[in-house]
Amino acid sequence: MYPTFNEKVMAGLGRGLIETGALSAPGRVLALAALARFRSILRGLGVSSVRVVATAAVRVASDGAAFAREATQIVGADLSILSGLDEGRLSALGVATGFHEPQGVVADLGGSSLELFELGDDDTNGETHMLGPLALNGDNLTDEAEIRSRVQDILAGSDKVAGRFDTLYAVGGAWRAFAKIAMREEHYPLRVLHGFSLSTELVNKTTSYILSHQHDKSLVDIAGRRASKLHLTAIVLDELTQLGCAQQVVISSYGLREGLVAEHLGLATADSLADGLASFGGLSPSEQNFSAQLYGFTRSVFSEKSPAFKTWEVENRLHEAACLLVDSAGRYHPDHRHDMAFEKALYAPLSGVSHIERIFIAATLGWRYSRRFTVPKSLSQLLTSKQLRRARQVGHAMRLGTVFSGQSGNILSLAKLEKQGERLVLCLPRRDAAMVSETVERRLNQMADVLDLSAAVSLQ
């Protein structure tokens, strides 16, 4: 699941809500104009299935129901006002589709409220707290100590915080802006927000930086309109991680929107990585079949060695994903395919992978296209030496499988690679002996080299 069109309008419906109890008048104008534009786009795209929802500001405002009626008329589809429970549940469902078997607490920070929901929990056990920047700003708190005290008082009643959690999945644009600043200050080499992990210490360090640079233009350059209230959202995140004794904060670009789509399409149990790659690559059934055959052809060589990741299940899943992208740079100039394949995988809208796993997949594809490929040092240092070596080995295996078979799944299904003692053996039917060209022999030898084996062909 990945967006084909994405547009955001920061209407600020909750601005002044604490003081007046009503939606912001300028915010209403912006929001309704945006909905009118979106309706025109939907009509132009021929989209017939539309779901429109409103969250905390509309939920608590005295004129929220009236706004919902007007919005429904403009957009041409019923606008549902989500409860705080539903908002947290759907955000958690979105996170569950964006990561592989995540565990921890989802924290979704909007303009007015903070929703907390534990992954894997039942559908009736979420929390809503008025800790959004617009709500905190309405309290007219300016001193850091006062803001922290206010946040602590509100979170003191949180069962999720009291229960403690190892991982906090942070959802919301304000926290993505926070992560951008952390990336810049730490000189982090992979500028991909989804899956970016921050230690509790880095959260605190970044919060201190934001508090001491509130008026710097550089914050506006990164956070835009969120810069003026970024100190509030930073303090909420810092207090949340400290009070909950979190070990890490993981940034999620998946949240409420993706949860709505996942619920509508029944994607809750799907593997977002494999399904997303097939969709992103626009793979035909024959291409998917070849990827599956390539995975089977190459996987058996590595099953006897210890995995480069925590378990074989994790590594095999990444290996399979790389096979789905095996032809991702096939249409580029041969001299640049390895770099293009690496960059494409590195920055593709992949879900269900950590940053380390993303780099691993990208590295396998670099070596799939060139045996002389090297991973940039800034990125290679994020992987272990064993993970780098395995990426190189898998890449060479894919390189052999594609040239041997001519990218035919049917041909590849009749052959197999085996490790026999100190030899890497390509086994195939005798009638297919002509398939072993000089290029195939060369790539077989290259693969054997990276496995510290000798190469052989067995006709059966």
pLDDT in tens, the chain (460 residues): 667 788 888 898 988 888 899 999 999 999 999 999 999 999 999 998 899 999 988 999 999 999 999 999 999 999 999 988 888 899 999 999 999 999 999 999 988 899 999 998 666 678 999 999 988 876 677 789 999 999 999 999 899 999 889 999 999 999 999 999 999 999 999 999 999 999 999 999 999 999 999 888 888 888 888 888 999 999 999 999 999 999 999 999 999 999 998 888 876 666 778 877 887 778 888 899 999 999 999 998 987 778 999 999 999 999 999 999 999 999 999 999 999 999 999 999 888 999 999 999 999 999 999 999 999 999 999 999 999 999 999 999 999 999 999 999 999 999 999 999 999 999 999 998 999 999 999 999 999 999 999 999 999 8
CA-to-CA distance for 238 and 230, rounded, in angstroms? 12
Going by the DSSP 8-state scheme, the letter that residue 432 receives in this structure is G
Q: Provide the 3-class DSSP secondary structure of residue 407.
A: coil
User: Do 379 and 190 form a contact (C-beta atoms < 8 A)?
Assistant: yes
CA-to-CA distance for 84 and 94, rounded, in angstroms? 15
With 0-12 / 13-18 / 19 or more C-beta atoms within 10 angstroms meaning exposed / middle / buried, residue 124 is: exposed
CA-to-CA distance for 204 and 234, rounded, in angstroms? 9
Helices marked H in 104-158 — which ranges?
A: 133-138, 144-155
Going by the DSSP 8-state scheme, the letter that residue 306 receives in this structure is P
Structure confidence at residue 2 (pLDDT): 67
| Residues 156-162: contacts with CB under 8 Å, at least 24 apart | 158/116, 158/127, 158/129, 159/127, 160/105, 160/116, 160/117, 160/118, 160/127, 160/244, 161/116, 161/240, 161/243, 161/244
**How close are the terminal C-alpha atoms of the chain, in Å?**
43
Q: What angle do CA 140, 30, 216 make, to 5 degrees?
A: 50
CA-to-CA distance for 188 and 173, rounded, in angstroms? 19
Structure confidence at residue 277 (pLDDT): 85
List C-alpha distances in Å: 458 to 428, 429, 452: 7, 8, 19
Per DSSP bridges, beta strands 52-54 and 79-81 are parallel
CA-to-CA distance for 105 and 97, rounded, in angstroms? 14
Handedness of CA 417, 420, 423, 425 (dihedral sign): negative
